Amino acid sequence: MGDPRKSRKKWIGPKHPWIKERLMKELELMGRYGLRNKRELWKAHTMARRFRHQARSLLALPDEIREVEEKKLIERLAKLGLVPENAKLDNVLGLTEEHILERRLQTIVYRKGLASTIHQARQYIVHGHIAIKGRRVTSPGYLVDVEEEKYIEYTPGSPIAQRIASQEEV
C-alpha cells in the first residue's frame, strides 16, 4: 500500500511524442471538447484503453465465468452511458476516448444548452455554477451517469440561475 496523499497518475502518455497525425488529432479533440491540456485527453484515452483490455481478457475466459464478468462490465459501462444496455463485447472493444469525452460534465453542460460555448461550460463548472441533484460539482472532468444527466442544472444560489429566473418572470 502506498501513501494515500501520494496518488498515482491516471494516464499513460504517448510512446512517441512527435507523430504529426496524432498531434493534429489531439489538438482537434482538445478544441472540440474544451480541454485544458493534453493530460485530460490522455486520461480519457487510458480509460478507454483499460476498458478495451478488460473486454479482451474476458474473451479468453471460460464461457460460464465470461458471461458473468461480461454482464458486470457492460452494466458498468451502460450506467456511464458509454455503451447501450444490450451491448456485446464488440461494442466495448470499439470504445474510444471520444466516447468518454462525450460523458464529461463539461460536454454535457454545453450540449444541454446551459452554456453557449464549451469553454463557458468549463468556466461555469469551475466557478461553482453547476449542480447535479442539488450538489455543486466543480470538476469539468466528472463522468456523468445516465441517471444523473437529467438532474444537471444551475446551482440554486448562482447569479446565473437568478438572472435566468428574472428573465422568465418578464
pTM of this structure? 0.92
Split at pLDDT 50, 70, 90, the class of 2 is confident
> Residue range 19-35: average pLDDT?
97
Look at residue 1 and tell me whether its pLDDT is greater than 70.
no
Our CA angle for 155, 140, 17, nearest 5°, is 170
Q: pLDDT above 70 covers what percent of the chain?
A: 99
CATH 3.10.290.10 for domain 104-169: yes
Alpha-carbon distances of 72 from 55, 68, 76, 99, 146, rounded to whole Å = 11, 6, 6, 19, 17
What is the per-residue pLDDT across 29-61, written as a single tens digit (0 to 9) for each? 999 999 999 999 999 999 999 999 999 999 999
Split at pLDDT 50, 70, 90, the class of 149 is very high
The confidence score (pLDDT) of residue 116 equals: 96
Domain boundaries, the chain: 20-101, 104-169
C-alpha cell at 146: 445516465
